[in-house]
Amino acid sequence: MLFASLPRRRPAAAPTLLLLTALVASVVLSGCGSDPGQGDNTDPDQVDALVAPELGACRVLSPEDVAAPTNATRTVDCSEKHTAETYAVGPLPDSLDDAGYDDRSVGAWAYDTCSSKFERFLGADESLVMRTTVSWAWFRPSEKAWDKGSRWYRCDVIGGGDQSKEYVALPETAKGLLLGKPDDDWMVCAAGPSVTGSVKIPCSEPHDWRALTTIKLGEKGDDYPGDRLVEVRTRDFCSTSVGAALSYPLDYDFGYTWFHEAEWEAGNRRSVCWARTAS
């Protein structure tokens, strides 16, 4: 996954692309390794639970929690400070009964399921959820419970993304968070002279770049078109899209984020366009 940012000055040609290796927010497809503990924040009843967790439960999760394949953090009342809310739970499909704990097919199914339910829960489309400061993570049973035949999934909305060192508190419920015109607290911007190496922040904070729109590059089941084609199509679309949004000034800056084959295979089909802003 790569960023690029460049000025658009008509009629002069655009300069060489500046590539970088970062992204706004991404999802956790699968975790590896031994089951984690949550220290003093562990609920013993959840550690090797065979049944699916409670829908709508809230928790105080950290990036370390989200990086793990399973989670047994104690729940808190959603009126209290929390960084995660469970928006979907249920059994895995019968087709995954014989799957291994870290089988990629399990992660792929979770991606499709949690991402589609995430959009409906927040009240957003695929383009909008790629430009928000919140993201989602999914969890499965512990390895011990898995070996006993437990097959459930849990999807949590979390107050941050894969670059977050810590998560922000969510509202009492995140349901409908992005309906209508979303608050800038929940939209992603960047601070820095270019998108390259910039710090990703909420748009409510002083910023230089805003994630403005996205381009869809393919449908589910399509083969990856290759790095070059993805990059060129993204660049051309973002140049036009950002220019239109700014009423086609003679001199403007735009940036874009595009992804490689690994993200494509995981299910992502979109790139993100950035516009330079005055605040």
What's residue 39's pLDDT? 59
264-275 in b/e form (b: 16+ CB < 10 A) is bebebbbbbbbb
Q: Which residue has the tokens 């460049």?
A: 6
List, in order, residues 6 or more apart from 100 with CB less than 8 Å away. Answer: 106
Per-residue pLDDT in tens (0 to 9) along the chain, 279 residues:
555 655 443 322 222 222 222 232 333 343 444 445 555 788 999 999 999 999 999 999 999 999 999 999 999 999 999 999 999 999 999 999 999 999 989 998 998 999 999 999 999 999 999 999 999 999 999 999 999 999 999 999 999 987 788 899 999 999 999 999 999 999 999 888 877 667 788 999 999 999 999 999 999 889 999 999 999 999 999 999 998 988 888 788 899 988 899 888 878 899 999 999 875
What's residue 279's pLDDT? 57
Check if the beta carbon of residue 90 is closer than 8 Å to that of residue 153: yes
Domain coordinates of the chain in residue numbers?
Answer: 25-213+273-279
Q: Give the containing element (helix H, strand E) for 229.
A: helix 227-245
List, in order, residues 6 or more apart from 37 with CB less than 8 Å away. Answer: 47, 72
Q: Which residue has the tokens 């290759």?
A: 226
